[in-house]
Amino acid sequence: MKTMKALSMLAALSMLACTAGCSGNTDAKNDKPAEATTEAATEAVDVPELDGYSLLWNDEFSGNALDETKWNYEPHEPGWTNEELQEYTTSADNVFLRDGKLVIKAIKSDKNGKDYYTSGKVTGQNKTDFTYGKVVVSAKVPEGQGLWPAIWMMPKDESYYGQWPKCGEIDIMEVLGNDVSTAYGTLHYGEPHGEQQGTWGLTGQTYADSFHEYSVEWEPGEIRWYIDGNLYNTANDWFTAVQGEDEKPYPAPFDQPFFVQMNLAVGGTWPGNPDATTDFDKAEFEIDYVRVYQKPEYDTNVKKPEKVFREALEDGNFIFNGDFSEAEDLTDDVNWKFLLFNGGEGAAEIRDNMIVITSEKEGTEDYSVQLVQPDLPMIKGKKYRVTFDAYADEERDIIVCVSAPSAGWIRYLKDTTLKVTPEKQTFTYDFEMKEKDDNNGRLEFNLGHRGSTATVYISDVRVEEIK
Enumerate the active-site residues: 169, 174
User: Identity (one letter) of the amino acid at 44?
Assistant: A
- Strand bridging mode 101-105 / 369-378: unpaired
The answer to whether the beta carbons of residues 30 and 20 sit under 8 Å apart is: yes
Q: Residues 330-333: contacts with CB within 8 Å, 24+ apart?
A: 333/374
CA 180 from centre of chain: 14
Give the 3-state secondary structure of residue 266.
strand
Q: Among candidates 397, 459, 393, 402, which has minimal Cα distance to 430?
A: 402
Spatial distance between the Cα atoms of 89 and 11, rounded to a whole number of angstroms: 30
57 burial class (0-12, 13-18, 19+ CB within 10 angstroms)?
buried
- Three-state SS string over 366-407 comes to HHHEEEEEEEEEECCCCEEEEEEEEEECCCEEEEEEEECCCC
**Do residues 81 and 188 make contact, with C-beta atoms less than 8 angstroms apart?**
no
Contact assessment for residue 376 and residue 310, using Cβ atoms and an 8 Å cutoff: yes
CA dist 313 and 280 (Å) reads 53
On the CB side of 265, CA atoms within 13 Å amount to: 25
Contact criterion met (CB below 8 Å) for 123 and 268? no
Residues paired with residue 369 on neighbouring β-strands, in sequence order: 340
Name the residue among 440, 169, 456, 159 with its Cα closest to residue 309: 440
Q: List, edge to edge, every strand of the sheet that includes 107-111.
A: 86-88, 114-119, 107-111
